[in-house]
Amino acid sequence: MSVMSRAGALFDRSRVFDFLIEGQPPPALDLKHNVILYLEGITVSFDGFRALNDLNLYIEAGELRCIIGPNGAGKTTMMDVITGKTRPDAGSAWFGQRLNLLNMSEPEIAQAGIGRKFQKPTVFQEHTVFENLELAMAGDKSVWKILFAKLTPQQRDRIDEVLGIIGLPDLREQRAGSLSHGQKQWLEIGMLLMQEPELLLVDEPVAGMTPQETERTAELLVSLAGRHSVVVVEHDMDFVRSIARTVTVLHEGSVLAEGSMDSVQNDPRVVEVYLGE
């Protein structure tokens, strides 16, 4: 952001500053209508190029949704909007009935219960596998609590359990930076589990994984659905077919088609987009 626009923002009276609303606890997640995520009319432009163009998407509580679409369709940008990384030019984004994501900072969104696995695995390289999981662990993340935080036996057990789920129990003291690409993917999934989010956003989880690992990831994601809501972005069609109930096809920043895998694959517009590549 340039200095001028930042200065301009200071005098913008319609703006509510984060620090003015700080202190009040955010309202709890409200799933009265059984919808956990509302994206309506989301538009994001980068220098005039519309990465998202009037995007509408609704995710039901407990749902496992796959998002597919060619490279550059705007899938990652959509996740950036949901997690507060990118602010849209237009539209609204709600988490449940009451939480306006567009008014929340990244940590507030994370604390409210949205966890994310990045497309490019980003773990804390200098920390051990164990410490990565410890950092991600759900709980009070305010400065004073963390300064004096001690792991309880239950928390330690939970970390051990997740280490087992992601298949890295022997590497717990290993520097995360020394892991292979696939292991980093798993570690990031483990971090996501530690956060105990209501909504999981998973960006291309199986890139760089072996077929067996891919299968295990599929099982894990399916087992999470129900108690959590899961949104998965993936290119691997076999993988999508193995887990998806509902598939949303994104193209040029908006939804092109939505439905079961079969109906979507037979949709002529979808065929055109994928074959026309």
Ligand X SMILES: Nc1ncnc2c1ncn2[C@@H]1O[C@H](COP(=O)(O)OP(=O)(O)O)[C@@H](O)[C@H]1O
Q: How far is the CB of 152 from other proteins (least distance, A)?
A: 13
- Residues in 173-212 that interact with other proteins by CB under 8 A: 173, 191, 195
Tokens of 49: 């190029």
- DSSP, collapsed to helix, strand or coil, labels residue 69 as coil
Q: How many residues bind ligand X (CB under 6 A)?
A: 10
Range in contact with other proteins (rule: CB under 8 A) among 47-55, 102-110, 157-165, 225-233:
102-110
- Residues in 73-132 that interact with ligand X by CB under 6 A: 73-77
Residue 87 is a binding residue for other proteins (CB under 8 A): no
CA angle 163, 219, 261 (to 5 degrees): 145
Residue 83 is a binding residue for Mg ion (CB under 5 A): no
- Report the alpha-carbon distance of residue 53 to residue 70 in Å, rounded: 15
- Can you tell me which of 52, 76, 78, 247 binds Mg ion, judged by CB under 5 A? 76
Residue 116 is a binding residue for other proteins (CB under 8 A): yes
DSSP string, 187-241: HHHHHHHHT--SEEEEESTTTT--HHHHHHHHHHHHHHBTTBEEEEE-S-HHHHH
Residue 83 is a binding residue for other proteins (CB under 8 A): yes
Which position has the token pair 């009070």?
140
**Residue of minimal Cβ distance to Mg ion:** 76
147 binds, among other proteins, Mg ion, ligand X, none (CB under 5 to 8 A by kind): other proteins
74 binds, among ligand X, Mg ion, other proteins, none (CB under 5 to 8 A by kind): ligand X
Quote the DSSP letter at residue 168. Answer: -
Quote the DSSP letter at residue 34. Answer: S
Q: Is 243 exposed, middle or buried (0-12, 13-18, 19+ CB in 10 A)?
A: buried
Binding track over 122-161 against other proteins, x by CB under 8 A:
x-xxxx---x--xxx----xxx--xxxx------------
Q: What residue ranges bind other proteins (CB under 8 A)?
A: 6, 18-19, 83, 85, 105-107, 110-111, 115-116, 118, 122, 124-127, 131, 134-136, 141-143, 146-149, 173, 191, 195
